Amino acid sequence: MEIQPVLDESVRLFQEELADNLVGVYLHGSLAMGSFHPAQSDIDLLIVVFHPLSPDVLKRLARRVVLLHESIPTPRGIELSIVLSRYLREFEHPAPFEFHFSDGHLTRYKEDENYICGGFGDADLAAHFTVVYHRGIALYGAEPKEAFSPVDKGWYVQSIVSDIENAVEEIAKQPVYYTLNLCRVLGYLRDGVVLSKQEGGVWGLNTLPVLYHELVQYALDRYAGNDAGRTVDEEELTGFARYMLGEIHQAMAQAVEG
């Protein structure tokens, strides 16, 4: 699929709706980090504004974002959050957001014209801000390292670790998501590098015990759409999750002691 027209249309939408209130439109996630796969990935955007948005603007945005999402020929579509510019330099954790859209909210937005997800803090934004700062792309506005200050590493770690704490219970349901995310979290804790899910899997192949290489390769192949009908055993998945969480918690404890 052609991604650039989607990005161009996204920027045009926010320019039209937000006008002089728009500070920047930033691409993050797998697409910004060169590991986008249409069947598995969504298009991740962070929108920055000067001032809070009125209810009328939020409702118009919701309608237009739903139409944009449904026009994208991928299963995951688009995910985005709108934040105030003051948090780029003076980050708070969890950072408040004005508006959020993802596929999980699609039904609510379509069925309730007054529904708006926004107005409270989101711990995930520590991870999004960090990825924008280190790996993001400015589609509109100043370059990320000019516009953003680095997020405290402790907040970033809290954000990414909270995403995988239930891996033992959930990995059998989402083996690709949890296998690759566990790898990229441990990769950051050990090496301090912000990784995509795919890069995390490659890190795992190069670093983890050989015992887990076949599972990590399976997850990488599935992520790229090349699974060839293979399956993995639930016990193998939960054993991997237990091992990785143990290594993650050990790395966190060592960081605190250091």
Give span(s): CATH 3.30.460, the chain: 4-153
Confidence at residue 227, expressed as pLDDT on a 0 to 100 scale: 73
Instruction: Return the structure tokens found at 248.
Output: 């993650």
Confidence at residue 38, expressed as pLDDT on a 0 to 100 scale: 81
Query: Which is nearest to 223 in space by CA: 84, 30, 48, 54?
Result: 30
In this structure, what DSSP letter does residue 94 have?
S
CATH class, 4-153 region: alpha beta
Q: Report the alpha-carbon distance of residue 157 to residue 201 in Å, rounded.
A: 18
- Residue 5 Cα distances to 2, 12, 28, 71, 221, angstroms: 7, 10, 17, 11, 28
Residue 229 scores a pLDDT above 90: no
Q: Are the CB atoms for 14 and 140 separated by under 8 Å?
A: yes
pLDDT-based confidence at 96, cuts 50/70/90? very high
In this structure, what DSSP letter does residue 142 have?
S
Indicate the SS3 state at residue 25. Answer: strand
Backbone φ and ψ of 193, nearest 5°: -110, 130
Residue 17 scores a pLDDT above 90: yes
Model confidence over 169-186: pLDDT tens digits? 999 999 999 999 999 999
pLDDT-based confidence at 255, cuts 50/70/90? confident
Indicate the SS3 state at residue 82. Answer: strand
